[in-house]
């Protein structure tokens, strides 16, 4: 590719795109706040500060898990769309269809949980959805799964449109990923990082969504005809294959915002390189085959899969540490960085991702998993890279866009206060989970042993501080998004 | 030595090192480098990245070898040398344990399964820490081989969410000192 054709020539959002983008992001911001409040309710219940019964606790837990994963997917899809549309020609109908199907799916899930009483956790491990001991009906389980299917179909539509657009522009997905330059040849410096990352996500998450569709249909069949029994281990493998890729894809979609925006604030080029292309190529494979690290305590799993789960967990750290995090650090080092909300959030995002995967990788060791699996160590590490990684990636783009509507980066004292509360609350919240995990405090318990309560109280307080920061962000951003676009790049303005 | 404390120390060290890298870069971010400094920084950055790659590679290979050399999960389809065998079945929301009085110092084989949904079979030591766990799955039997070193009352807890009374699904094991017949 000798010259880069841009569609649109800059990042401006024409009328239809503007409305669609606002719908995605305002919905996501509202859902993030609501889901955080549900999470806080859970922590306060464990802290014995909220009188929530076990049945309601597990409904809230199911809603919080499904809601957060879904919202992360929704918002990070909008990040990918925002940048990918510059380099390939995407159809707005596919982007809008994803939103509509997401909303329909979300309504099904909300109905299943709060009306139907469905509380099988977001992972819906077979056969719990059809073995509720009378607390919910098979119909409620089916509605929940249909909700997932609708969301999956929407994402698939978007990915297929994006895949077709990349193939039209670059010839095939391999060339979008930059595989032609892995061993030889002069790398096109204009090859967009957004295309590389999007291609990886399309390949991996399409497989994951298809696996999810297969297992959902199997479970639906079983719900209506229990005589057709399923193999619990096969179902678990499919669920974690799907679930792992779905949530990992949010990071790989979100990081596009960092790649695209950070260099505008550092003023330093952030070029594409062979290590970068290698890291995305191997990450594509790793993210597809790493899922057995969720099944390390299933001793019936073939031994080679457990070994693969451990080794690939370690290997997956290499691209993150040595290419993405290291690349960001070298880009900001001695750059004369302009510290505005987007650039601060971008650095926070990479910090959260890189630091958060340390406990995750350690937990991928079989011997460690034997004492840490399903303790609060697990929410400790995934909250680290979701709360302090993916969400700041999304906020990076939002602050940038809102800045473009004000002709300057948003950087007020209120925003900086929000960031301070978010970072302090977020780090404390995650570290309390990890600390409790090392004390063997179980996850997903509606009521805790008396000796576990102090950490629950510390976690609750940290969550309140974090949510206060998020409320400030959400308010500022929603108001900002609703303003008319000015269509300038705020990174190149002073303010 | 409690395994969880070792893991905690290693984790804090790893997270701290990554955080230090960020703090260093952030403190240097405000001062732009001139062309000569940028070229020098670029060269040392490449050298440092190679060094980090090698260090991480050695660490990963070393830990993999050390942690898998004696595979932490017993062979599932071969008889073990355990002198005590305990059959465990998880139900919503009770544990059916064939033998709850055990002796420390002698290996115990736990054969763990479930009659209805997935459960998590975790054994908590008297000090409140997990010593070992596996999944209890319908249709499968997972085998644990574990030797209790400290006598006392151990608590079994369910660590895989299994429905509304999940957190109340507990049982106890009494582990006696070797030679203690009381």
A125 to B135: CB separation less than 8 angstroms, yes or no: no
Contact criterion met (CB < 8 Å) for A336 and B124: no
For residue B1, pLDDT beyond 90: no
Percent of chain A with pLDDT over 70: 95
Interatomic CA distance for residues A206 and A166, integer angstroms = 15
Q: Tell me the C-alpha distance between A90 and A100, whole Å.
A: 17
Rounded to whole angstroms, the Cα distance separating A433 from A463 reads 11
Q: Decide if B134 contacts B115 (C-beta within 8 A).
A: no
By percentage, how much of chain B surpasses pLDDT 70? Answer: 99
Q: What dihedral do alpha carbons A402, A403, A409, A412 form, nearest 10°? A: -50
Give the mean model confidence (pLDDT) for residues B91-99. Answer: 97
pTM: 0.95
**Inter-chain residue contact A354 with B22, CB threshold 8 Å:** yes
- How wide is the angle at C-alpha A236 spanned by C-alphas A255 and A292, nearest 5°? 55
Residues found in chain B: 182
Q: Which residue out of B6, B22, B27, B145 would a mutagenesis test of the A interface target, given it has the greatest number of A Cβ atoms within 10 Å?
A: B22
Sorting pLDDT into bands at 50, 70 and 90, what band is B38?
A: confident
Contacts of B63 in chain A (CB under 8 A): 314, 365
> Which residue shows structure tokens 């400290």?
B150
Q: Average of pLDDT values for B55-76?
A: 96
For domain A15-492, give the fold.
Cytochrome C Oxidase; Chain A (1.20.210)
> Of the candidates A255, A263, A333, which has an alpha carbon nearest to the alpha carbon of residue B49?
A333
What is B69-106 written as a DSSP string? SS-SS--TTS----SEEEEEEEETTEEEES--EEETTS
For residue B158, the chain A residue with the least C-alpha distance is A442
By C-alpha distance, the chain B residue nearest A306 is: B73
Inter-chain touch A58–B15, beta carbons under 8 Å = no
CATH 3.30.1490.20 corresponds to the domain B84-176 = no
Pairing of strands B170-176, B101-103: parallel
With a CB cutoff of 8 Å and minimum separation 6, the contacts of A366 are A296, A306, A309, A310, B67, B68, B71, B72, B73
In total, the C-beta contacts within 8 angstroms joining chain A to chain B are: 224
User: Structural domain boundaries of chain A?
Assistant: 15-492
pLDDT at B43 over 90: no
Q: Please give the share of chain A, as a percent, with pLDDT higher than 90.
A: 89
Distance CA A356, CA B155 (A): 31
Q: Work out the average pLDDT over B103-122.
A: 97
Q: What angle do the packed helices A92-114 and A54-87 form, to 10 degrees? A: 180
Each residue's pLDDT expressed in tens, for chain A with a length of 495 residues: 445 555 666 788 888 999 999 999 999 999 999 999 999 999 999 999 999 999 999 999 999 999 999 999 999 999 999 999 999 999 999 999 999 999 999 999 999 999 999 999 999 999 999 999 999 999 999 999 999 999 999 999 999 999 999 999 999 999 999 999 999 999 999 999 999 999 999 999 999 999 999 999 999 999 999 889 999 999 999 999 999 999 999 999 999 999 999 999 999 888 899 999 999 999 999 999 999 999 999 999 999 999 999 999 999 999 988 999 999 999 999 899 999 999 999 999 999 999 999 999 999 999 999 999 999 999 999 999 999 999 999 999 999 999 887 766 677 889 999 999 999 999 999 999 999 999 999 999 999 999 999 999 999 999 999 999 999 999 999 999 998 665 556 666 543
**Is B3's pLDDT higher than 70?**
yes
Partner residue facing B160 (CB), from A310, A351, A374: A374
Return the residue of B nearest to A119 by Cα.
Answer: B163
pLDDT of residue A7: 61
Whether A99 and A22 have beta carbons less than 8 Å apart is answered as: no
pLDDT at B24 over 70: yes
The tens digit of pLDDT for each residue in A36-49 reads: 999 999 999 999 99
Taking the domains of chain B in order of start, what are their residue ranges?
Answer: 3-68, 84-176
The confidence score (pLDDT) of residue A494 equals 43
A13 to chain B, closest Cα gap in Å: 32
DSSP H or E segment with residue B156: strand B152-158
Mean pLDDT of chain A: 94
Highest mean pLDDT out of A259-273, B72-86, B139-153:
B139-153
Residue A1: its pLDDT value, please?
A: 42
Q: Compute the nearest-CA separation of A46 from chain B (Å).
A: 11
Q: Which residues in chain A touch residue B135, judged by CB atoms under 8 angstroms apart? A: 297-299
pLDDT of residue A485: 63
The predicted pLDDT at position A347 comes to 97
């Amino acid at each position: 590719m000798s010259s880069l054709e841009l569609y649109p020539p800059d990042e401006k959002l024409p009328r239809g795109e503007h409305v669609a983008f606002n719908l995605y992001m305002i919905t996501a911001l509202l859902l993030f706040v609501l889901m955080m409040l549900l999470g806080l309710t859970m922590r306060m219940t464990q802290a014995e500060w909220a009188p929530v019964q076990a049945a309601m606790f597990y409904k809230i837990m199911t809603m919080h898990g499904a809601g957060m994963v879904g919202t992360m997917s929704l918002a990070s899809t909008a990040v990918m769309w925002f940048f990918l549309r510059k380099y390939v020609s995407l159809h707005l109908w596919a982007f809008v269809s994803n939103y509509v199907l997401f909303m329909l799916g979300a309504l099904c899930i909300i109905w299943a949980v709060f009306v139907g009483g469905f509380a099988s956790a977001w992972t819906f491990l077979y056969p719990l959805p059809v073995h509720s001991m009378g607390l919910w009906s098979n119909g409620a389980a089916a509605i929940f799964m249909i909700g997932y299917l609708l969301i999956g179909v929407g994402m698939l539509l978007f990915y297929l449109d994006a895949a077709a657009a990349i193939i039209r522009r670059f010839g095939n997905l391999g060339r979008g990923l930059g595989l032609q330059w892995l061993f030889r040849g002069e790398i096109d410096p204009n090859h967009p990082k957004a295309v590389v990352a999007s291609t990886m996500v399309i390949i991996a998450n399409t497989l994951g969504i298809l696996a999810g569709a297969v297992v959902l249909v199997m479970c639906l069949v079983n719900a209506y005809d229990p005589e057709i029994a399923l193999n619990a281990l096969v179902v678990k493998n499919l669920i974690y294959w799907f679930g792992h890729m779905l949530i990992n894809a949010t990071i790989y979609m979100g990081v596009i915002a960092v790649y695209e925006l950070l260099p505008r604030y550092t003023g330093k080029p952030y070029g594409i390189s062979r290590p970068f292309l290698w890291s995305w190529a191997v990450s594509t494979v790793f993210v597809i085959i790493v899922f057995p690290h969720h099944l390390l305590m299933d001793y019936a799993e073939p031994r080679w899969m457990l070994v693969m789960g451990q080794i690939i967990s370690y290997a997956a750290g290499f691209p993150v540490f040595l290419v993405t995090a290291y690349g960001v650090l070298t880009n900001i080092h001695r750059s004369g960085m302009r510290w505005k909300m987007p650039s601060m959030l971008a650095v926070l995002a990479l910090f959260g991702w890189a630091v958060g995967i340390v406990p995750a990788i350690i937990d991928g060791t079989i011997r460690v998993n034997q004492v840490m699996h399903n303790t609060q160590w697990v929410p400790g590490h995934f909250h680290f890279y979701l709360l302090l990684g993916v969400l700041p990636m999304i906020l990076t783009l939002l602050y940038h866009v809102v800045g473009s509507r004000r002709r300057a980066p948003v950087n007020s004292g209120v925003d900086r206060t929000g960031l301070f509360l978010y970072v302090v609350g977020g780090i404390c919240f995650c570290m309390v989970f990890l600390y409790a995990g090392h004390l063997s405090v179980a996850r997903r318990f509606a009521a805790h042993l008396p000796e576990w309560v102090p950490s629950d109280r510390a976690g609750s307080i940290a969550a309140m501080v974090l949510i206060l920061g998020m409320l400030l962000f959400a308010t500022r951003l929603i108001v900002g998004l609703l303003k008319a676009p000015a269509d300038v790049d705020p990174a190149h303005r002073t303010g | 030595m409690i395994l969880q404390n070792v893991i905690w120390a290693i984790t804090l060290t790893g997270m701290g090192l990554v955080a230090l890298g960020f703090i260093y870069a952030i403190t240097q971010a405000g001062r732009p480098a001139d062309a000569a400094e940028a070229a020098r920084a670029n060269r040392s950055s490449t050298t440092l990245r190679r060094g980090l790659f090698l260090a991480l590679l050695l660490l990963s290979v070393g830990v993999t070898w050390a942690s898998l050399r004696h595979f932490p999960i017993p062979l599932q389809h071969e008889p073990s040398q355990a002198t005590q065998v305990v059959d465990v079945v998880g139900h919503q929301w009770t544990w059916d344990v064939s033998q709850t009085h055990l002796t420390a110092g002698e290996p115990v084989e736990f054969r763990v399964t479930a009659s209805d949904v997935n459960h998590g079979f975790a054994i908590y030591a008297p000090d409140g820490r997990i010593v070992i766990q596996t999944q209890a799955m319908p249709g499968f039997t997972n085998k644990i081989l574990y030797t209790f070193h400290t006598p006392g009352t151990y608590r079994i807890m369910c660590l895989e969410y299994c429905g509304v009374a999940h957190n109340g699904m507990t049982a106890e094991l009494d582990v006696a000192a070797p030679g203690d017949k009381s």
